[in-house]
Amino acid sequence: MPRWRWGCRRMGPGRPFNYLYLYHLPHVREFIPRPMVNPEPIELSYPEFEVFRLSELEKLTQEEIAEKMGTSRGTVWRLLESAREKVARALVESRPLLILPKGEIKKE
């Protein structure tokens, strides 16, 4: 199974970000509701998409997702909460949902 390494560069002070491993890149990059009440899009990052997919479709626990992506359970929890909020907001407010890389992606 191919695996991608996602990283976001951080310049300046602070702890550098670790890589997150993604196993599925989205084929669809946007969802546009009909009718579109609010044209301002909501942006979902690749790691948020991957965590949401693993949690909701594959029914993995946060610990299993963290192990698979090579990160902590706390990071998985934050990504999952953010993804759930964005998807719910897009559905309720009838806004487009864009899935964007927002970082660098390298195939391993």
Q: Which one, of 53, 44, 51, 55, lies nearest residue 21 by Cα?
A: 51
pLDDT of 93 reads 95
Q: Which residues contact 28 (CB under 8 A, 6 or more apart)?
A: 99
> pLDDT tens, 2-56?
665 656 555 566 666 677 888 888 899 999 999 999 999 999 999 999 999 999 9
CA distance 63 to 65: 5
pLDDT of 4 reads 59
pLDDT of 78 reads 95
> pLDDT tens, 53-103?
999 999 999 999 999 998 999 999 999 999 999 999 999 999 999 999 877
